[in-house]
Structure 1
Amino acid sequence: MPTQARAGVSKKVLKACNRCRSMKVRCSGSQPCNRCTRSNEQCVFAVEEKRVAISERYLRELERRSNFGDHGIVTPGSEQAHVSGVQGGRARARAAASTPGPVRPLASRLTTPHDYANHESVADRPTDDAAQTSSSSGSPFRQNPLVDYDLTFAKAAGRYWYMGPSSSWSFCRRIFALIQQRIPEANCPPDPWNLDGSAFDMHWVPIARNERPDVTNIPPLDYALFLFNTAKFYLGGHFMCLIDESSYMKNLHEFYKDPASKASDCRHWFAQYLLILAFGKAFSSTCKCPSGPPGHQYALRAMRLLPGMAGLPPDTTLAVQVLALAAVYLQSVDMRVGALQYIGQALRTCIVEGWHRHMPADAVGDQHSRLCNNTFWVVYILERELSALFGSPNSIRDEDITAKLPSELDNSANASEMDLHIRLSGLRAEIMNTVYGAGAELQGSLVVNTHAILRGLAKLLGDMNTLLLTRQPVSVNKASRTALRLILGHHHCVVLSTRPTVMCALYIRLDRRQTQTSHAVSLSPAVTSLIQTCVDSAQATLRTLRVLSDEDLLVNIVAEGFLPFQIEDAFSSAFILHLIRFIDSTLISDDAWSENANIAFDRMISKGSMVAPLRLQELRQLERTLSSLSTDLDSTSPMEKTVGHGLLPVSNVLPHETTIDDAGWNFFVRDCLGVLSPREMMDLADQLEMDGAGPMLFEPTL
């Protein structure tokens, strides 16, 4: 009920008339109110409706949908289409509330049914206060445009494909579709798509339990040992936890004494053996093979021996290890669906066996406890990484894991490096849950979520510096495969977490192209710094890959390039830099990154990589498309960066200059860790925290 004003008492009322509300002044609450009576104006109160309390996160969800509609992210349509979108969001929220999700803070992980009942009450008509809040914070940088909008599903090859929000493959498809949608007159060439299995496709039929595996065309023992050592060298680091070397060598010698019997009795070991042969051939080959990657015949035979879905094999540890190796191989030949399914099966088997829990040595034995612990953490790291590459949610929450970290069982440098990989994997999951999170209970400011991720990355970067630059001697492991993957993985997380901000800026740039706007759009310092951080990490990634290629620091960069991770690093970095150059070329100080990317891809292609040509084709098409659009946009001013009310000089946000001449191993000490120190990254996170509540886009004065 309206609250009557009492003389001499200033009291907030629960209801105000329309005139006082529009003037944003205090209303007496009487009808007619005192102000309208004095002005002799008609006093009208809005029809009284039931008010309910809603969570701030749900309010942000309403703002997100409103903002997306205003900026063309949702295809314009009828009111019914909008209502369906809101109802779809509620359905996703209910599913998220009832299903164990990936790791995220406990407070944001649980939402009560009562909250959702309140959401239902205001879904179609938010309260006046909520509407006012929404109108005051309608920045295009508030929400991630890659999550749940009209390009979430796309049709190709006669079926619909899910565009995972964090997938680089999906991001490429979204960009091509967005340009075609916004600027149809650009006559962009058709999307090459490069669907799953386009690089190389394998089909197999599992071998029945009573069928003997094929043991023909097996290399001699000495060559098998050479391929094992080659695979061991290039897989390296924590991947070698997927192979128990002493057990493998024992089985290997037994196999060559009686191949048929050993293959029948130890089918999963035989599958592991075949996969190691396939990896060894792929790593050691220096020529192209038109029929597929060298050694793929061994991999195909191994796939037929993989564990089935029903029941548990007697040798569970070996079964999990071979499933993980199969996932890495399939991802390496761009069969992403199969890779995700097999690593998911490996992780679920770990959970069934209880390896995600601490296994006391006095209960199961020290050797078995360590073997299961190491295997679980490698599967955990791979599942996090492959899920992010696919755009899929993670399969286990960190809150449910009590397994001891490697450093708690072993005080070696390798165990410390493994700890850092585990922490990086946890940050990947946090990126998926916050920056790329879906559902009302997960919605919030994009800048705030990115701020939290950058804080975690800054802390991790400091610990990486401590381990790689102080704890280990100069001659040991600064350029090791484990350290290299850790450093490039850190840069990839920076690019992944800042990619939505770049996408928001791209929408603005394309909107200017549509509306023929000639004035500049000024970005806030927070957004400018965020995009600049993305530029820095992407350039550092490409510089690193260029040096590895030029200096031959990995003996053969192409062998390392068979694995999917460096191709992904090169592609995602070059792709985002092309977009940023189109958005605002002043954010990139030098174009050496383009040459660095070309050299890295050319080296991989020249030695037979089957995936690199597809990624390079997509980069070439993006470059041609953006170049044609840039010609039309040359008459307009680039986006401006502002600090306070003035322009921020470009020199203040550019990364420091680096040279790759005579880099050698010292490159890792000087430049591989990136251009931002942990303190600088933390300062950026603080700036985002301070600026996150303010406008992300400054409208210029005309």
Structure 2
Amino acid sequence: MGTPNKKMVKACTRCKQRKKKCTGDLPCEYCSKINQPEGCEYKARVKSKVAKVTERYINSLKSRIRELEVEVAKGAPGSTLDYDNHASASDINPLLEPTYGLEFHSKNELEPKTTKRYLGTSACAQFLRKVKQSIADTCNEGLLSHDPSYTSGTPLATDPEGSIDRGYIANVVAEHLPNSSDAQRLISNASKMIGADYLFIEPQYFELTVERMFYRGSVPKHAIDLIQFSVELLRFVSYLALGSLFDKTRQGSKSLSVRLHSTCISIYGQLTSVYDQAASTSMVQSLLCIAYFALSQNKTTFAFTMVGNAIRIMFTLGYHKSTQSQRENRTFWLCFIYDRLLAVRFGFPLMIDEREINVPVFDQAEGAQRVVSLDMYHFVAQVRLAMVTTQVITKIYIQNPFSFLHNCHLVLRQLKSWFDLLPDELKFDYNNIKSGLIRSTFNLHINYNYSIMITTRPVLLYVFNVILTKGSHGGDLFENDQFNLILDLLESCIQAAEIQSRILAKLYYDDKMAVNSFLDCHYIFSATIILILAGYCQMLMKKSVLYSGGIECLFDAIKNNLNFLQRLSEHNIVARNFNEQLTEFIDMMSSEQVVQVLNPDTNDNQPYILFSRSTQGQTFLSNDQHSEEKEFNIADVGFVDLSELLDNMNNQFLSGTSVDDFLNANF
């Protein structure tokens, strides 16, 4: 990654093409002026790291290698290995698979040597086919001319077992694809709405892949070529489905997105019969897109399955050990981000163990160009935050021998380090919004506050449980030496939820919120739970202030969040589900039985006690039913500064206390 806070020495690629002077900023003035900040990038060739050694030294190494080979041969007299011909283990045993699966090289000499495919040779059917192939090679090649799996030049059989229906693929291309201009618009729409966080579309993808294969080419007739064509078609249609999902310009775009998503699933079903040969970077990217769409339809289990399949392919291809291009590298880390996204939001198990990863973020091949762009900055920051999410899951939500406060301190320290290392281009300032600020920048800070919330919210539950069991008598509910520490953690949790709510409000009023997405609705949902619970705790704690920000501001945030979810419910099944859950929770807390138990001294002069339901089913605060909707005043929005909290935790570090006993038993 380039050095932040400094201008680039060279011009960006767009200014180079224009042959005009570039300001060197990221984004530069021209890219900001034309409203394409995400396209501003700087390229520089990576210096070759070649160690200089003498020819004499190389010859000595070769001599030593020959000596060792002779010694090995003497130690194994029965060995018949021909070292001069470089015989490999796969040559000796054609069924023995290398580390990352058996490599398949096309007999076409024009095909790049890097092409490789996992053939799944361990399957018994594959073993039988190899036996039959041996017979055919020895006796009569015509015996197996009907089988499409042996040579790349053999036409497909009509038997659906182990093959793809070419007629179906041709029908998808002819009937389901939009015209070229609409397709390009939808792909661009998906890229801008989802951004670098959860989607990667390589530069010139449309020109080099889509137009060449689907608008200027034809459906191949040969087996291997058709498989590759179908995989790319799957990826293309998955992008179109996402682009239609967020398309606000045309009516019926949502129904179109659902149809395209169904087409994706159907194409994927065709590819499962040749899954071993379809395994590729494009397949992984397609499955992640399908998972993202499934989340927007509230199909969380299906999304988890698709991400799991993508990760399985990725491990089969060996991307966790080595990648040969930025696309492969980016695809691997996208799988990592999706894995953490699902695990922390739904309680699913982690599928990728960080100890098995050997590839860095954005691995650069020798002699390749190093790209510096906002897209790269955003993606690297998201990967680093996903790594912190690993610690949240393992330290906060999985029982371990350390105390909760110890683990909480560790995670918060990592979050602070993440925030401090953000480049200035990704910093967030509502008082002076930069022209290059894009949705991905908002996402980073929403995720940052979300991470603080899920790390510290067990303390809020602890306080609520103490109030339920011991009554609402104030600070004497807690041990004196831990009360201040509890307040510090609560302050950070509630403040992060309020800030996240205000950022989402800004997106909503600026019409930048993805109304059909899962993530935006989930962010509103998670923040609102904390604000509602904090509001009740504050009302019940008559003698102590749990949140210095003021209960009026807190309840304004609750009301706005509920209003957003209510409006989004008209377009989004996920928002409808979250709205129903919050409504049920509020109805429970507002029932007479609960109010009498929690607050028997309720009187008409105490504000903000109950929530109500309007005749339209909208949930709002009972004392503010007549107020008009208004936009948040976000001029004073900042970010949770964890420095003071971490210092206080260092000074008041406690273990073995009642808060630890409760949290260790419940998380």
- Could you say which residue in structure 2 is the equivalent of 1:509? 467
Looking at structure 1, the residues matched to 206 and 459 of structure 2 have their Cα atoms a distance apart, in angstroms, of 47
Alignment of 1:385-404 (within 5 A): 385-404=341-360
Report 1 or 2 for greater relative contact order, CA contacts < 8 Å, sequence distance ≥ 6.
Answer: 1
Of the three residues 643, 650, 660, the one matched with 1:686 is: 650
- Give a deviation string over 1:494-548, Cα, whole Å, max 9, x none: 11112222222232233246xx999962362222221221101111111111111
Q: Does the CA-based 8 Å contact 2:319-2:328 persist in structure 1?
A: yes
Looking at structure 2, the residues matched to 421 and 265 of structure 1 have their Cα atoms a distance apart, in angstroms, of 31
- Could you say which residue in structure 1 is the equivalent of 2:306? 342
Alignment of 1:550-561 (within 5 A): 550-552=509-511, 554=512, 557=513, 560-561=514-515
Q: Are 2:409 and 1:445 aligned?
A: no
Of the three residues 406, 414, 417, the one matched with 2:375 is: 414
Q: Does the CA-based 8 Å contact 1:450-1:498 persist in structure 2?
A: yes
Looking at structure 1, the residues matched to 412 and 590 of structure 2 have their Cα atoms a distance apart, in angstroms, of 32
Measured after TM superposition, the shift of residue 293 of structure 1 is: 5.2
- Could you say which residue in structure 1 is the equivalent of 2:599? 634
Alignment of 1:466-545 (within 5 A): 466-469=424-427, 479-512=437-470, 521-522=477-478, 524-545=483-504
Measured after TM superposition, the shift of residue 312 of structure 1 is: 3.1
User: After alignment, is 232-241 or 323-332 more displaced?
Assistant: 232-241
Q: Which runs of 5+ in 2 are unaligned?
A: 1-159, 365-369, 540-544, 603-629, 662-667
Q: Does the CA-based 8 Å contact 2:237-2:260 persist in structure 1?
A: yes
Change (3 A) 1:277 1:410: closer
Give SS of 1:425's match.
helix
How big is the alpha-carbon RMSD for the aligned residues of Structure 1 and Structure 2? 3.5
- Could you say which residue in structure 2 is the equivalent of 1:460? 418
Give SS of 1:584's match.
helix
Looking at structure 2, the residues matched to 434 and 322 of structure 1 have their Cα atoms a distance apart, in angstroms, of 32
Of the three residues 537, 548, 573, the one matched with 2:527 is: 573
Give SS of 2:375's match.
helix
Paired amino acid for 2:338: L
Alignment of 1:163-312 (within 5 A): 209-210=164-165, 212-213=168-169, 214-215=171-172, 216-241=175-200, 243-253=201-211, 254-257=213-216, 260-261=219-220, 266-285=229-248, 294-306=256-268, 307-308=271-272, 312=276
- Could you say which residue in structure 2 is the equivalent of 1:112? none
Measured after TM superposition, the shift of residue 433 of structure 1 is: 0.8
- Give a deviation string over 1:201-228, Cα, whole Å, max 9, x none: xxxx999623533422432222222212
Looking at structure 1, the residues matched to 397 and 599 of structure 2 have their Cα atoms a distance apart, in angstroms, of 33
Q: Are 2:377 and 1:436 aligned?
A: no
Change (3 A) 1:376 1:412: same
Measured after TM superposition, the shift of residue 406 of structure 1 is: 2.8
Measured after TM superposition, the shift of residue 274 of structure 1 is: 1.6
Paired amino acid for 2:204: S
Measured after TM superposition, the shift of residue 467 of structure 1 is: 4.8
Paired amino acid for 2:247: S
Measured after TM superposition, the shift of residue 489 of structure 1 is: 0.7
- Could you say which residue in structure 2 is the equivalent of 1:73? none
Give SS of 1:395's match.
coil
- Could you say which residue in structure 1 is the equivalent of 2:100? none
Measured after TM superposition, the shift of residue 452 of structure 1 is: 0.9
Measured after TM superposition, the shift of residue 693 of structure 1 is: 5.2
Paired amino acid for 2:534: I
Paired amino acid for 2:533: L
Looking at structure 2, the residues matched to 612 and 206 of structure 1 have their Cα atoms a distance apart, in angstroms, of 41
Looking at structure 2, the residues matched to 526 and 465 of structure 1 have their Cα atoms a distance apart, in angstroms, of 31
Q: Does the CA-based 8 Å contact 1:207-1:305 persist in structure 2?
A: no
Of the three residues 558, 577, 580, the one matched with 1:594 is: 558
Looking at structure 1, the residues matched to 205 and 418 of structure 2 have their Cα atoms a distance apart, in angstroms, of 35
Change (3 A) 1:630 1:521: farther
Give SS of 1:464's match.
coil
- Could you say which residue in structure 2 is the equivalent of 1:16? none
Measured after TM superposition, the shift of residue 394 of structure 1 is: 1.4
Looking at structure 1, the residues matched to 161 and 433 of structure 2 have their Cα atoms a distance apart, in angstroms, of 47
- Give a deviation string over 1:62-120, Cα, whole Å, max 9, x none: xxxxxxxxxxxxxxxxxxxxxxxxxxxxxxxxxxxxxxxxxxxxxxxxxxxxxxxxxxx
Q: Does the CA-based 8 Å contact 1:561-1:604 persist in structure 2?
A: yes
- Could you say which residue in structure 2 is the equivalent of 1:617? 580
Change (3 A) 1:238 1:312: farther
- Could you say which residue in structure 2 is the equivalent of 1:139? none
Looking at structure 2, the residues matched to 279 and 609 of structure 1 have their Cα atoms a distance apart, in angstroms, of 14
- Could you say which residue in structure 2 is the equivalent of 1:384? 340
Paired amino acid for 1:605: S
Q: Percent identity?
A: 18
Of the three residues 425, 446, 449, the one matched with 2:386 is: 425
- Could you say which residue in structure 1 is the equivalent of 2:124? none
Q: Which runs of 5+ in 1 are unaligned?
A: 1-204, 360-367, 638-658
Looking at structure 2, the residues matched to 620 and 207 of structure 1 have their Cα atoms a distance apart, in angstroms, of 50
TM-score of the aligned structures, taking structure 2 as reference length? 0.60
Q: Does the CA-based 8 Å contact 1:455-1:681 persist in structure 2?
A: no
Q: Does the CA-based 8 Å contact 2:502-2:632 persist in structure 1?
A: no
Measured after TM superposition, the shift of residue 444 of structure 1 is: 2.6
Q: Does the CA-based 8 Å contact 1:324-1:346 persist in structure 2?
A: yes
Q: Does the CA-based 8 Å contact 2:161-2:273 persist in structure 1?
A: no
- Give a deviation string over 1:40-71, Cα, whole Å, max 9, x none: xxxxxxxxxxxxxxxxxxxxxxxxxxxxxxxx
TM-score of the aligned structures, taking structure 1 as reference length? 0.57
Looking at structure 2, the residues matched to 476 and 321 of structure 1 have their Cα atoms a distance apart, in angstroms, of 32
User: After alignment, is 622-631 or 325-334 more displaced?
Assistant: 622-631
Looking at structure 1, the residues matched to 473 and 198 of structure 2 have their Cα atoms a distance apart, in angstroms, of 52
- Could you say which residue in structure 1 is the equivalent of 2:537? 583
Q: Does the CA-based 8 Å contact 2:415-2:448 persist in structure 1?
A: yes
Q: Does the CA-based 8 Å contact 2:164-2:273 persist in structure 1?
A: no
- Give a deviation string over 1:110-158, Cα, whole Å, max 9, x none: xxxxxxxxxxxxxxxxxxxxxxxxxxxxxxxxxxxxxxxxxxxxxxxxx
Q: Does the CA-based 8 Å contact 2:411-2:455 persist in structure 1?
A: yes
Looking at structure 2, the residues matched to 388 and 234 of structure 1 have their Cα atoms a distance apart, in angstroms, of 22
Give SS of 1:231's match.
helix
Structure ID, larger Rg: 2
Q: Does the CA-based 8 Å contact 2:184-2:206 persist in structure 1?
A: no
Q: Does the CA-based 8 Å contact 1:340-1:386 persist in structure 2?
A: yes
Q: Does the CA-based 8 Å contact 1:526-1:692 persist in structure 2?
A: no
Change (3 A) 1:464 1:592: farther
Measured after TM superposition, the shift of residue 270 of structure 1 is: 1.2
Q: Does the CA-based 8 Å contact 2:412-2:642 persist in structure 1?
A: no
Looking at structure 2, the residues matched to 615 and 287 of structure 1 have their Cα atoms a distance apart, in angstroms, of 27
Looking at structure 1, the residues matched to 287 and 258 of structure 2 have their Cα atoms a distance apart, in angstroms, of 16
Measured after TM superposition, the shift of residue 347 of structure 1 is: 1.7
Q: Does the CA-based 8 Å contact 2:284-2:314 persist in structure 1?
A: yes
